[in-house]
Structure 1
């Protein structure tokens, strides 16, 4: 049986990894500055992460949500402490798309409305409602397009106000740093005014922190750079350091009812063990401090390279924008300099999403290779 061919692949086969490095079947070492789409938060094969999963699977890997799982309660308490999101409630699932799907469903339940406002170049996942609010027509099938969605420009607060005042919008969903779209951000004033308008119009404010969360922006969540209070926060990618886990943090004003959300695999014992180890390492190893230190160092060097037209993003969710498409540059970096980087729907942006354990020496290695590649 052949694989369903939906991924354009680089001709590299990783077989092992350690911290910020990946090794292929030939033993070639690659510097990972992409982290598998920002998934690797605490470094590949972190010993505390490996021990947590190994220990848990030896005892109990899975049972359904029909029974008590104290690890879920422990993860919720730990997440509240590390994130600062006091009194929010946690619902666990398996991925970012599933997190956003449940966030949108919950907003519709709460408000008894069905239309959603999202934004140009936004990406929220590939499940039914999540892909409908994603600004990419090529991945939206007709069955998804039945959803009631209005896509607006970032920073166009008057359009947001006009649409919300129509009274049929259940949710506004937004990335505080766009990932796939190319690291664009709205202004502080825009984010904060949207929050106010949502609260005035019985509309839930959904913060998509799937990629920008878990310390990647320099704060635990990217929305924490602003004076806003999301009603629902979606999380995934860095949450499990590679183990599939996602979830939503739900404001205490939203009441749970039996059966309104559900999942078979979400919040399983192995996922919770992985999630707890990630939070412990982020806290114990001061990784958010490291994010800020390395980010400042990255910006300082990037500003000296004339071919870079714009430096985008925050923390270690970064983009370098050029005046040419970067596909060939990415190939050169991976095949000639053994460095993984990422692309975006903005074809001129090179995405940098390393493990939060990355050090200055790795940034030096990247910029030395980038300058040589650009000169070549």
Structure 2
């Protein structure tokens, strides 16, 4: 049987990894500045992470959500403590797409409406409603296109209110820093405006923190810089450091009932053990503070790069935008300098999403390589 050929692959086969380094089947070392799409938060093979998962799987790897699972309660409490999101409820699932799917479904249940507002260049996942709310017609099948979604420009409060005033919008979903779309973000005034208008028109305000959450921006969540309170917050990538886990934080104004949401694998014992390790390490090793500090060094070094159009993002959710396509540079960084970086929908943007354990000297290595390629 062949694999369904949907991924363009680099000819590299990783077999092990440690902290910010990945090693291939020839024992070649690569500096990982992409973290597998921002998934690796506390570094590859962190000893506490390995210990937590190993000890848990030796006891109990999985049972269904029809029984008590104290690890879910422990995770919810730890998440509330470290994130500062007080009094939210937690529903656990397996991925970012599932998190957004459940967020949108819950918003529709809560408001009894069905239309969605998303934003240009958004990416929210590849499942039914999540992919319909993604601004990329190439990945939206006719089945998904039946969802009613309106895409607005970032910053356009006038059109947002005009749409909400029709009183048929269940949710406004937004990435506070866009990921695949190219690291664009708007102003605090715009985000506060969304919050105000959603309250006015009985619409759920969904913060998609799938990529930007778990300390990546220097705050636990990207929205926290703007002093807003979303109704639902979706989480995933950095949450499990590679173990599949996702979830939504749900404001107490939205009430639960039996059967409203459900999952087989979501919140399983291994997933909870993985995420608890992530939260412990973020706290113990002060990785949010590290994200902020190392980011300053990145901006300083980036300012020395010629032909640079913009430095985008914050914390360790970063991008370097040029006035030419970066595909060749990205390929050369991998094969000539053994450095993983990422791309975006914007072909001129090089994305940097390293483990939160990254140090200044790792960025020095990257910028030396980048200067070499640009010259």
TM range (shorter): over 0.9
Gaps of 5+ in 1: none
1:324 is aligned to: 324
Establish whether residue 67 from structure 1 lines up as the match of residue 67 from structure 2: yes
| 1:310-350, Cα deviation, whole Å (9 max, x unpaired) | 00001000000001011101000000000000000000000
Tell whether 2:152 aligns with 1:152.
Answer: yes
Structure-2 separation of matches of 1:165 and 1:357? 45
State the alpha-carbon separation in 2 of the partners of residues 280 and 290 from structure 1. 15
Partner of 1:364: 364
| Structure 2 residue 274 is the aligned partner of structure 1 residue 308 | no
Correspondence list, 1:222-237, <5 A: 222-237=222-237
Distance (Å, rounded) in 2 between the aligned partners of 1:227 and 1:274: 29
Match of 2:352 in 1: 352
Q: Residue by residue, what CA displacement relative to the aligned partner does 1:178-200 show, whole Å, maximum 9, x if unpaired?
A: 00001000111111111100011
Matched with 2:292 is 292
Q: When the two structures are superposed, what TM-score results if normalisation uses the length of structure 1?
A: 0.99
Classify the secondary structure of the residue corresponding to 1:275: helix
Structure 1 residue aligned with 2:191:
191
Please state how far the C-alpha of 1:212 moved relative to its aligned partner: 0.2
CA RMSD of superposed structures (Å): 0.4
Question: Deviations for 1:111-132, whole angstroms, at most 9, x for unmatched residues?
Answer: 0000000000000000000000
Partner of 1:142 in structure 2?
142
Structure 2 residue runs without a partner (length 5+): none
| Cα offsets for 1:35-85 (capped at 9, x unmatched) | 000000000000000000000000000000000000000000000000000
Matched length: 375
In the TM superposition, residue 275 of structure 1 has moved relative to its aligned partner by 0.5
- Tell me, yes or no, if structure 1 residue 373 matches structure 2 residue 373: yes
Question: 1:88 aligns to what?
Answer: 88
With normalisation by structure 2, the TM-score equals 1.00
1:115-151 deviations in Å (ceiling 9; x for gaps): 0000000000000000000000000000000001001
Q: 1:328 and 1:188 mapped to 2: Cα distance?
A: 36
2:214 alignment counterpart = 214
Query: Which stretches of structure 1, 4 residues or more, deviate above 3 A after TM superposition?
Result: none
Deviation at 1:306, TM superposition (A): 1.9
| Counterpart Cα distance in 2 of 1:353 and 1:87 | 30
